[in-house]
Amino acid sequence: SNINKPCASKVIKRGPKIKKMRKKASKKQIPIISDEVKNLDEKDRIVEKPKPQESPMSDFEKDASRRDRYQKLFPELVPGPCLLKPDKTCLKFMNELRDVTVMEGASFRLFVTVLGPKPDNIKWLKNDEPMEFSKNGIIKNQTKDNTGILHFLKSCVTDEGLYTVIVTHKDQSITSRANVKILKSCTKLLTQGTAPRFITRIEQHYDCRVDDLILETHIKGDGLLNVQWFLDGIEICNNEKYIQIREPMGVYKLCIHNPQVRDNGHYTIQVTNDYGVEELKYHLRLE
């Protein structure tokens, strides 16, 4: 009879391939763990002991630690320990005059800042001669308190020179100097003109009919001439005492009514036009 007999399982023969694989596995080197690696592993396993709690820092200690940290981060900004405090009784320049070079027609300033007590006087000189200022002048003296300012509204070639500022307080005196150089502009070179010039010196004569002492000079120049008179650096305005007269052919006069000894002093006539500035001085001495 046909009876279904169970089939025998297939026998897997161990051939040469398996033997080769076993040989390769046996040849692989087992990694050797060095003592240093073992020590590192042991250190990682060690649990750090909790640090003892530090006592809270006082405010003084906190300030000291902040100061030390600041000095390490910004050593160049830390003031020196032996710096002297400024003496409030001694004059000293905080900012001195500096040399200036500008184009003709430009506006600029010369200024100084003084430390210490309020100065009694701040005096400006040009080429070692005292400067004279007026309300309508091109150069303004804006000196105030401890700051000396010389404002040039519109520079011209005649402004070139050595400027000096003298600051005085009681017996103390300090000085600063600067050179001013004016560069001629191209537009100025294209327009030709003549700066004002004095044809005669200042002459003095007395008119007995009106009791006037007259200072007279002759001026020439192109364009509109702006003439100003000064007495010891102070601008003279028309009033009952002084009368300024302009006559044809460029004759300019200053009439001093009822002249007295107190009218003595240094008289200056300053002339300005678009091409320059010129001035002439006269010393009046009545006895």
Q: What is the pLDDT of residues 124-146, one digit of tens each?
A: 999 999 988 887 778 888 888 88
- Has residue 54 got a pLDDT over 70? no
Q: Which residue segments constitute the domains of the chain, with CATH numbers given? A: 92-189 (2.60.40.10), 197-284 (2.60.40.10)
- Overall average pLDDT of the 165-192 stretch: 81
Q: What is the pTM of this model?
A: 0.42
- Looking at per-residue pLDDT, the higher value among 71 and 95 belongs to 95
Give the end-to-end CA distance of the chain in Å, rounded to a whole number: 177
Residue 95: is its pLDDT beyond 90?
Answer: no
259 phi/psi in degrees, rounded to 5? -65, 135
Mean model confidence pLDDT for the chain: 80
Residue by residue, DSSP assigns 37-58 as HHHHHHHHHSPPPPPPPPPPPP
Which two tokens mark 257? 């009514």
Q: Which residues pair with 243 in a beta bridge?
A: 255
The continuous run of DSSP H or E covering 146 comes out as: none
Torsion, CA 182, CA 187, CA 190, CA 191, rounded to 10:
-80
Task: Report pLDDT for 15.
Answer: 56
Distance between CA atoms of 136 and 235, rounded to whole angstroms? Answer: 10
Q: Cα dist. 43→50, 177, 232 in Å? A: 16, 75, 95
Question: Residue 24: what pLDDT?
Answer: 61
Tokens of 276: 């320059």
Listed residue (281, 279, 272) closest to 137, CA to CA = 272
Pairing of β 172-183 and β 129-130 = unpaired
Q: Beta strands 100-103 and 172-183: pairing type?
A: parallel
Q: What is the mean pLDDT of residues 220-233?
A: 89
SS3 88: coil
Q: Are 111 and 150 in contact (CB under 8 A)?
A: yes
Amino acid 189: pLDDT: 46
